[in-house]
Amino acid sequence: MPTPKVSFEFFPPQTLDASFRLWETVQVLAPLKPGFTSVTYGAGGTTRKLTHDAVETIHKHYGLNVAAHLTCVDATKAETKEIIDSYADVGVTEIVALRGDPPKGADRFTAHPEGFASSVELIDWLAEDGRFKIRCGAYPEPHPEAADPMADVRWLKRKIDAGATSAITQFFFEAETFFRFRDACVKEGITAPIIPGILPIQSWKGAKAFANRCGTSIPAWVEEAFEAATRDGREQLLATAMCTELCDSLIAGGVEDLHFYTLNRPDMTREVCHALGITPDVVLENVA
């Protein structure tokens, strides 16, 4: 089985302890030589400055290619221009362009009157700027706001046509979910790479809450397996095995890239990568 390329998502720390955890995570995973790493915004763009600081530090001190998240939430076009200028100034060349989640307390996204109304508008504007490789998000299962099951596929096509060169999906539990989405995208004429987003489950309770917020369906067998594993104290063992099996199935189905949502906790991601044949020695040998 071929060895996939990997990338990792981190989030910016808001406390001293969280800072230590982020840098430990980067140090542990950097030797796996990811194709890129990404750094998120908080809900409503609340960690904008922290995101910038984390992006700059990871890029400068760890030599990693960083794709900075950029959203439309609560920002004017002028403010967004300042943000991308600051990224360009520190050598960042990739952006993950997203609409973004509503600010805390709001139940739906409302565009800033002097900002961008959608991710498509943001991507089109970034493409015209011309300084960045643009990645975007994709939903293999219907987004909570989607009008119909094909709406996310059509919307992804618009983002690709606007200038995004690849898409990273929301997480999912079964490989068939991704394959169905990929097939639908091909039928819609989407030829850009679609990278599956992988969530190593650190907490089943947290993963369920996250799935419910973003519209990820939870198969009955997954729910039953975690209930049993939690009772027996085997939750992490099950999570690692399920994540590895999911990645194996995706690779067997032709997937060449995997994007891990690390949650700034490196151990399970590293363990899964090692099981897939991605180790520092192998990667460094391939680079040489």
User: 245 with 253: CB under 8 angstroms?
Assistant: no
C-alpha 100/C-alpha 28 separation (Å) is: 29
| Residue-wise DSSP of 165-232 | -EEEEEE-S-HHHHHHHHHHHHHTT--S-EEEEE---S-HHHHHHHHHHHT----HHHHHHHHHHHHH
Whole-prediction pTM value? 0.93
Q: What pLDDT is attached to residue 283?
A: 46
How much is the mean pLDDT over the chain?
91
C-alpha 100/C-alpha 10 separation (Å) is: 16
**What number is the average pLDDT over the span 208-225?**
94
Who has greater pLDDT, 151 or 101? Answer: 151
C-alpha 220/C-alpha 228 separation (Å) is: 12
Question: Would you place residue 280 in the very low, low, confident or very high pLDDT band (cuts 50, 70, 90)?
Answer: confident
C-alpha 277/C-alpha 270 separation (Å) is: 11
Q: What pLDDT is attached to residue 286?
A: 40
Tens-digit pLDDT profile for residues 14-45: 898 999 999 999 999 999 999 999 999 765 55
Q: Is the pLDDT of residue 288 over 70?
A: no
**What number is the average pLDDT over the span 124-145?**
94
Tens-digit pLDDT profile for residues 160-213: 999 999 999 999 999 999 999 999 999 999 999 999 999 999 999 999 999 998
Residues facing 133 on adjacent strands = 94
Q: What pLDDT is attached to residue 271?
A: 97
Tens-digit pLDDT profile for residues 77-108: 999 999 999 999 999 999 999 987 766 666 66
Q: What pLDDT is attached to residue 285?
A: 40
**Lowest model confidence (mean pLDDT) among 15-19, 136-140, 282-286:** 282-286
One of 9, 94, 141, 235 is an active-site residue; which one? 9
Q: What pLDDT is attached to residue 147?
A: 78
9 an active-site residue? yes
**Lowest model confidence (mean pLDDT) among 141-145, 200-204, 220-224, 274-278:** 141-145
Tens-digit pLDDT profile for residues 251-263: 999 999 999 999 9
Give percent of the chain with pLDDT exceeding 90.
77
Question: Would you place residue 75 in the very low, low, confident or very high pLDDT band (cuts 50, 70, 90)?
Answer: confident
Q: What pLDDT is attached to residue 143?
A: 81
